[in-house]
Amino acid sequence: MELERETGWKLHPIGGDTGQAYMGTKDEEKLFLKRNSSPFLAALSLEGISPKLIWTKRIGNGDVLTAQEWCNGRNLFKDEMHSSRVAKILKKVHQSESLKRMLQRVGGRSIHPKDLLTEYKSGLAKDLAEHPQLKKAYKWLVDTKLEIIKDSEISVCHGDVSRKNWLLSEEDQLYLVDWDSAILADLAYDIGQLFSRYIEKKQWNDWLNEYDHEISESFLKRINWYVIMTLLMDVKEAHRKGQFIKMNNAIVKIDQLMSN
């Protein structure tokens, strides 16, 4: 394999959507290697948010290979996403001006409510476009968009806070990994993803107390906006994959939130 010859490491592909991640081994050493990882990985490593960056190397075809320390561990379970450690790491990301400057410097993309609304409508299946609960939710998102934009707090957002992107090492160190979806957006975007998938509405205030942000009516409305937006995206994706139980569960959640 050409990549092994260039790097001097034996590469073992590991799971992931991109097929770009490997366990690299050489003698007794082991590293996590990835092609074209987020260009501000060094800053994340310095802040202890992601595992330590060991080196970067540009390879023959122009790709950049990054090497991080290998951490034996596991992903978080669904009920562990409530933890104060998750809240504190997300707050650290969202408050970091150095991460924000770095992502701006490397041309990180920005996501605004109108972008998400456009993405949802693009290629939407006819039965979803005509579904009464989904139409009602979409109209509410459109009608409140300007209010949400007005109060936005733009920061670095991970962009995919799935439990599968949280790594708890055997040394009990928690990391947020896989930054390929990192964006500049309202910090409520990440929180909305987290709440829509893992945290019941009755538990929102408890989690936000750990996150240590003023729980204002405006902040809760922004979170609610991104929760419903995330659920609409989840409905669309589940429909595309034929995962109709997951799709219907998301529609029920949307209906409950819109009824409160």
For residue 166, give the nearest of 158, 154, 174 by alpha carbon: 174
Domain ranges in the chain with CATH number 3.30.200: 2-70
Task: Return the amino acid letter for 226.
Answer: Y
Task: Return the amino acid letter for 127.
Answer: D
For residue 194, give the nearest of 85, 48, 31, 54 by alpha carbon: 85
The Cα–Cα gap between 240 and 234 comes to 10
Which alpha helices (H) appear in 58-96, and where do they start and end? 84-95
Cβ contact 163:170 at 8 Å? no
CATH superfamily assigned to domain 75-259: Aminoglycoside phosphotransferase (APH), C-terminal lobe (3.90.1200.10)
Structure tokens that stand for 12 in this block: 């073992």
pLDDT reported for residue 132: 96
For residue 21, give the nearest of 10, 29, 11, 30 by alpha carbon: 11
The total of other beta-carbon atoms located within 10 Å of residue 217's CB is 7
Q: How far is CA 34 from the centre of its chain?
A: 18
Task: Return the amino acid letter for 38.
Answer: S
Task: Return the amino acid letter for 205.
Answer: N
Give the predicted TM-score (pTM) of the model.
0.90
The Cα–Cα gap between 217 and 98 comes to 29
For 240, residues 6+ apart whose C-beta sits below 8 A from its C-beta are 125
Question: Which position has the token pair 């992903």?
Answer: 75
Q: What is the pLDDT along the chain (260 residues), one digit of tens a residue?
A: 555 555 667 777 876 555 578 888 887 788 888 877 777 788 899 899 999 998 888 776 777 888 889 999 999 999 999 999 999 999 999 999 999 999 998 888 999 999 999 999 999 999 999 999 999 999 999 999 999 999 999 999 999 999 999 999 999 999 999 898 999 999 999 999 999 999 999 999 999 999 999 999 999 999 999 999 999 999 999 999 999 999 999 999 999 999 87
Domain ranges in the chain with CATH number 3.90.1200.10: 75-259
Structure tokens that stand for 127 in this block: 């039965």
Residue 170 gets which letter from DSSP? T
The Cα–Cα gap between 62 and 1 comes to 16
- What is the third-level CATH fold of 2-70? Phosphorylase Kinase; domain 1 (3.30.200)
The total of other beta-carbon atoms located within 10 Å of residue 182's CB is 23
Residues designated catalytic: 160
pLDDT reported for residue 36: 72
The Cα–Cα gap between 233 and 241 comes to 12
